[in-house]
Amino acid sequence: MLAIFLKTLPFFALIGLGYWAGRTKFFTAEATAYLTKFVFYFALSAMLFRFAANLSLAEVLDWPFVGAYLCGTALIYALATSVALYRRIGLEQAAVEAQTAVIGNVGFLGVPMLILLLGENAVGAVMLVLAVDLIVFGSLIVILITGSRDGRMTTGVLRTVGVGLLKNPMIVSIVLGLVWSGLQIPIPGPMNEFLGILGAAATPGALFAIGASLATKSAERLTVAGWLSFCKLVLHPAAVAVFLLLVFTVDPYSAGVMIAAASLPVAGNVYILAQHYGVAPQRVSASILISTAFSIFTVSAVIAWVTQL
């Protein structure tokens, strides 16, 4: 446990450095926004494309893996939704709380950290988790909020979801990488070096951007935020592990990567959605802050456990 904690510490130290820079205003909110945009559209996309281009779709697509992650995530999603509706807060807020309870920071934190800690063989599993989060649950929250406001499902809602997926650089880079791999086109040397240099900026840039963005978050509604953080850090990986152990057959290495990915703290894109739709952004903000702080210990514990699988 101590050895894994020491290995994860540099990643969280980078987040802490970004938090300090944002908190002291050395890094302004505008600077953070531009750094996040650089990582999101360029560095992380280059890293994902390069990884995907060296994989085949057959290596990545594992239906039992998808089934285990989807079922475990859906269970906690349903639990968080039920608790929210029991409190009589409405479907829109329930959808945001459910999203907060299950969507981890796989893109900015999981991709660089899990691949470095668990090895490059983790790439395919991490990409599958990321794809399910973005395609299934990223679409679901838009459908629930928009459908709730309109009172019915329209083609406009589906068009919004489709356009959103097509504009997401992480989805686009993974798909393009897999297409490149499927065509069996070797990556030219200069292009490979270019992608390697640009992709190398993803890890420090993403972690620093996470910390700097946390500096602008507020810790309100701590009771609810604490419950949602508990769902994300503890219940989500536990539910995924149960389905892996009792229902689906997945090789131990991929199972370990999935559980580790499920243990990651709440993703920043949930806050962006909550702010965009004007639904409980402070609640999500507090959940991101609390879950990220506690994940220093919980993620280390989960990774230490899965490495024994």
Domain limits of the chain?
Answer: 2-306
C-alpha to C-alpha distance for 40 and 271, rounded to whole angstroms: 16
Mean per-residue pLDDT pooled into runs of 10, the chain (309 residues) = 78 90 90 89 88 78 92 96 90 91 89 86 88 86 75 63 74 86 83 90 87 76 88 96 92 93 90 81 87 91 86
- Of the candidates 170, 167, 192, which has an alpha carbon nearest to the alpha carbon of residue 50? 192
pLDDT at 115: 86
Tokens (6 digits) for 256: 């370990």
CB within 8 Å of 257: residues ≥ 6 apart: 114, 118, 122, 125, 126, 129, 306
Q: Quick one: CA torsion of 166, 170, 173, 174, rounded to 10 degrees?
A: -100
Architecture of 2-306 per CATH?
A: Up-down Bundle (1.20)
pLDDT at 241: 95
- Of the candidates 206, 258, 199, which has an alpha carbon nearest to the alpha carbon of residue 71? 258
Residue 264, CA distances (Å) to 103, 143, 160, 288, 289 in order:
8, 25, 28, 11, 13
Reduce the DSSP state of residue 236 to 3 states and report it: helix
pLDDT at 268: 82
C-alpha to C-alpha distance for 186 and 180, rounded to whole angstroms: 8
pLDDT at 111: 83
- Of the candidates 77, 158, 174, which has an alpha carbon nearest to the alpha carbon of residue 125? 174
Reduce the DSSP state of residue 131 to 3 states and report it: helix
Residue 133, CA distances (Å) to 107, 170, 187, 296 in order:
10, 11, 28, 22
pLDDT at 167: 76
Tokens (6 digits) for 119: 């090895």
Give CA angle at 177 (176, 182), nearest 5°: 95
